[in-house]
């Protein structure tokens, strides 16, 4: 097997497929991509709901945005993008507010009509309760940035649900800043480019893999030695780009890295529109889920049934070993383990670790693609000579 391919890519998410496409298209290399799931695309995979026909993002909403011109030029080779602009709202105390916190949020919350300068002064006076240079946890950090009233309404309980931990027990470094806009702009992202793939994520992903030198094998576990495409058989014999969990690669010899995972609950409702927007956050503790996605709103340009809609509630918790990992917890103990794994990785012959799981970093899609393009240019091209 090792003689028929020049490179094995473990994982068919955006990082792995970008590597595969570049090595095949630019270097003429034969690439085998394997994935333990029964579909390509990693967490970006989308599918048509059988009952409504609405495109659903199986692993939670994926919104493409970037300010990187190289990434934008690259992704446009495989898909056109809609003009979708992502906006988020949150329900608190039985009332809906726009996010991120902006002039509209502030005036609605305080029942005021402040202009930008007065709103800045108000937030600054409330934030002065805690000295930002002397904070001990996430709660104190957040209050030092936006003040206690806004923190308790929109950040405290939502963060506790996300992390299953009180913000007073979370490290301050989890939040470096909390954006507050002193305008009525409630666009969620500030990037130069934003949109959704016109034909959906799976069509985009399939085009990346559609090259005569790329073979994709699904339901293939890199650690399953009962089948031929496995770690023991390949390492040292063929170059490998590995995008799975870095601790799993080394059989957890330096300890397990902590992740948060997400659970999703889908429901088809007999109405044409449930919430009037694509994503609604739920900021209060008594609501067990963090947000609800309603996928018809991601593609308003498409025809959708007038009498049915599909929603998906999202729940957050700490991941067990068999769960799908999403967000690195990244405690000091995790960072210590990660440094140990990086040392081990340096000793692996022609094995390149990349992607969200392989680097223990939360990477948005554009960041994963950018990171893969960088690995291709700086490591794989020179290695293949």
Which residues are part of the catalytic machinery? 177, 181, 260, 291, 314, 362, 364
| Look-up of token digits 């330096």 | 254
Exposed, middle or buried, 275 (CB in 10 Å: 0-12/13-18/19+)? middle
Q: Which CB contacts under 8 angstroms, 24+ apart, belong to 216-221?
A: 216/12, 216/33, 216/34, 216/35, 216/40, 217/32, 217/33, 217/34, 217/35, 218/12, 218/34, 218/35, 218/37, 218/38, 218/39, 218/40, 219/35, 219/36, 219/37, 219/38, 220/34, 220/35, 220/36, 221/36
Bridge partners for 32 per DSSP: 8, 215
Nearest alpha carbon to residue 17 among 200, 210, 203, 197: 210
Calpha distance 226→237 (Å, rounded): 18
Q: Helix, strand, or coil here: 239?
A: coil
Helices and strands (DSSP H and E) totals, the chain? 14, 16
Calpha distance 130→145 (Å, rounded): 9
Q: Which one-letter DSSP state was computed for residue 268?
A: E
Radius of gyration over every alpha carbon of the chain, rounded to an integer in angstroms: 22
Q: Helix, strand, or coil here: 30?
A: coil
Bridge partners for 281 per DSSP: 90, 291
Asked if 274 contacts 233 with a C-beta cutoff of 8 angstroms, the reply is no
Nearest alpha carbon to residue 105 among 151, 138, 160: 151
DSSP assignment of 41-104, as one string?
A: SGGG-EEE-TTT--EEETTS---EEE--HHHHHHHTTT--B------EEEEETTEEEEES-BHH
């Amino acid at each position: 097997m090792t003689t028929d391919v020049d490179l094995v890519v473990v994982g068919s998410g955006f990082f792995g497929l970008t590597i595969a496409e570049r090595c095949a298209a630019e270097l003429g290399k034969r690439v085998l991509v394997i994935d333990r799931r029964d579909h390509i695309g990693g967490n970006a995979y989308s599918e048509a709901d059988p009952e409504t026909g609405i495109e659903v993002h199986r692993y939670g909403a994926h919104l493409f945005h970037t300010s990187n011109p190289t990434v934008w030029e690259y992704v446009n080779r495989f898909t056109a993008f809609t003009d979708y602009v992502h906006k988020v709202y949150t329900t608190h105390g039985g009332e809906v507010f726009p996010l991120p916190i902006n002039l509209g949020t502030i005036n609605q919350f305080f029942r005021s009509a402040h202009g930008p300068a007065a709103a800045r002064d108000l937030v600054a006076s409330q934030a002065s309760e805690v000295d930002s240079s002397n904070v001990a946890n996430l709660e104190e950090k957040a209050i030092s940035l936006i003040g206690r009233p806004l923190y308790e309404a929109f950040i405290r309980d939502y963060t506790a649900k996300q992390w299953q931990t009180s913000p007073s027990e979370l490290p301050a470094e989890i939040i470096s800043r909390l954006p507050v806009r002193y305008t009525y702009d409630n666009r969620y992202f500030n990037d130069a480019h934003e949109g959704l793939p016109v034909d959906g994520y799976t069509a985009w992903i399939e085009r990346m893999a559609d090259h005569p030198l790329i073979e994709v094998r699904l339901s293939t576990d890199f650690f399953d030695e009962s089948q031929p495409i496995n770690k023991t058989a390949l390492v040292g014999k063929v170059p490998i780009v590995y995008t799975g969990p870095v601790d799993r690669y080394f059989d957890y010899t330096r300890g397990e890295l902590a992740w948060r995972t997400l659970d999703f609950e889908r429901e088809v409702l007999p109405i044409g529109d449930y919430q009037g927007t694509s994503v609604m956050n739920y900021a209060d503790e008594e609501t067990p889920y963090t947000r609800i996605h309603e996928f018809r709103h991601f593609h308003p340009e498409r025809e959708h049934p007038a009498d049915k809609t599909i929603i998906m509630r999202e729940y957050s918790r700490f991941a067990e070993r068999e769960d799908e990992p999403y967000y690195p917890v990244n405690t000091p103990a995790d960072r210590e383990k990660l440094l140990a794994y990086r040392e081990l990785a340096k000793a692996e012959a022609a094995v390149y670790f990349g992607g969200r799981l392989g680097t223990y970093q939360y990477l948005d899609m554009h960041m994963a693609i950018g990171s893969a393009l960088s690995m291709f240019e700086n490591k794989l091209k020179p290695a293949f000579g």
